[in-house]
Amino acid sequence: MSSENIQREKLLEVKDLWVSFGKGRKKFQAIKGVSFDIYKGETFGLVGESGSGKTTIGRAIIRINPVEKGEIIFKGKRISGKIDKETNKELIRNIQMIFQDPMASLNERAKVDYIVSEGLYNIHGFTDEADRQAKVRKAMMDVGLPPEFATRFPHEFSGGQRQRIGIARTLIMNPELVIADEPISALDVSIRAQVLNLLMDLQRQYGLTYLFIAHDLSIMRFITNRLAVIYKGQIVELGETEKVFQHALHPYTKALISAIPQPDPLSERNRTVLQYDPSVHDYTVDKPVWTEIEEGHWVLANEAEQAAYRAEIQENL
């Protein structure tokens, strides 16, 4: 998981992405020009409050939400807009998603055996029945479930086990990129640790790349290599996770970090929570641009702010 070992090969590139819902006067601009790269083998975090658009980005990548402007490139190939059938099929196999609520995301009327192999049926991903069963077996064992459980229905499982089924069905596709949308927020505290450990193990074992979407910054700090903070459809700051935590530049990031409750009464009692006031930015003349303020550390700022941030970086050195 350490950042030095990651080969800096771009797996996914998002370039000036715009997404909107509705038309005409009812149009809602959910994503306003977002750009980031995800490198192979890393865990990239997208953090923001509800309604900020973090899920929309994930869904735009897997082509559920149409892209209005900009493009998404996966392994050097454009995957947004019109693409041919072959690319689409390839994409379905290569990018998979884990959802938040394991109670709602599994088909109640299907057996686990079918749920896990459903993706394979769609892309004809097996040679014969024996091959399919072997693949299901392997996926079940990879996520730590006994393969015999494949004959059961979802309601027979606990929340943690259901989330494992959710992971097994992405794993069976042999994906390169896994988008995990709040994969542990619906789970109990003690189960969270199990699922986080499993995700880390699988990453090591299969060299997976994760796009981790969550609102909980403390979990992000633990699991991600790089982190992007999104506010109202725009990424305001992006960088190595520890860097963002220790030397956040954007006032919104600072406010967000100051609001995380720590399980440590000594520091909790003296903690002051910062409030983010968007009016601190004067963007009337001097417009903000997405800038690499120092190597690998991006921030949304105008000329004046950039100068201030540079001074802040000098001070921190």
Stretch that binds other proteins, among 76-84, 93-101, 130-138, 212-220 (CB under 8 A): 212-220
**Alpha-carbon distance 297 to 225, whole Å?**
13
The span from the CA of 25 to the CA of 2, in Å, is: 47
**Longest C-alpha distance within the chain, in Å?**
66
Interface residue with other proteins among 94, 276, 281, 294 (CB under 8 A) is 276
Return the closest-CA partner of residue 228 out of 92, 21, 65, 42: 42
| Residue 23 interacting with other proteins (CB under 8 A) | no
Is position 104 an interface residue for other proteins (rule: CB under 8 A)?
Answer: no
Among 9, 188, 303, 312, binds other proteins (CB under 8 A): 188
User: Does residue 216 belong to the site contacting other proteins (CB under 8 A)?
Assistant: yes
Does 254 interact with other proteins (rule: CB under 8 A)?
A: no
Window of 28-36, 96-104, 172-180, 266-274 that interacts with other proteins by CB under 8 A: 266-274
d(CA 235, CA 250): 10
Look at residue 310 and give its three-state secondary structure: helix
Beta bridge partners of 12: 38, 74
Q: Out of 179, 256, 299, 300, point to the residue binding other proteins (CB under 8 A).
A: 256
Cα-Cα-Cα-Cα torsion 29, 97, 299, 207, nearest 10 degrees, comes to -160
Strand partners, 29: 20
Question: CB-wise, 7 or 50, nearer to other proteins?
Answer: 50
Helices and strands (H and E) in the chain: how many: 11, 12
Q: Is 266 in the site for other proteins (CB under 8 A)?
A: yes
Report if residue 49 touches other proteins, rule: CB under 8 A: yes
Instruction: Output 72 or 236, the one with its CB closest to other proteins.
Output: 236
Could you tell me which residues come within 8 angstroms of residue 253 by beta carbon, excluding any fewer than 6 positions away?
Answer: 229, 236, 237, 244
**C-beta closer to other proteins: residue 24 or 265:** 265
Restricted to residues 296-315, the positions that interact with other proteins (CB under 8 A) are: none
Region near other proteins per CB under 8 A, out of 21-29, 167-175, 261-269, 306-314: 261-269
Of 24, 76, 146, 263, the residue at the interface with other proteins (CB under 8 A) is 263
Q: Which of 146, 265, 284, 295 binds other proteins (CB under 8 A)?
A: 265
Q: Does 196 bind other proteins (CB under 8 A)?
A: yes
- Cα angle 263-179-253, degrees, rounded to a multiple of 5: 45
- 120-179 residues in contact with other proteins (CB under 8 A) are 158
**First-to-last CA distance in the chain?**
25
Measured at the CA of 70, the angle between CA 66 and CA 72, to 5 degrees, comes to: 75
Among 95, 145, 223, 227, binds other proteins (CB under 8 A): 223
Shortest distance (Å) from residue 16 CB to other proteins: 27
The DSSP output letter for 286 is S
Q: Residue 80's closest CA among 51, 59, 55?
A: 59
Binding site for other proteins (CB under 8 A): 1-2, 49-50, 158, 188-194, 196-197, 200-201, 215-219, 221-223, 255-256, 259-266, 268-269, 271, 273, 275-276
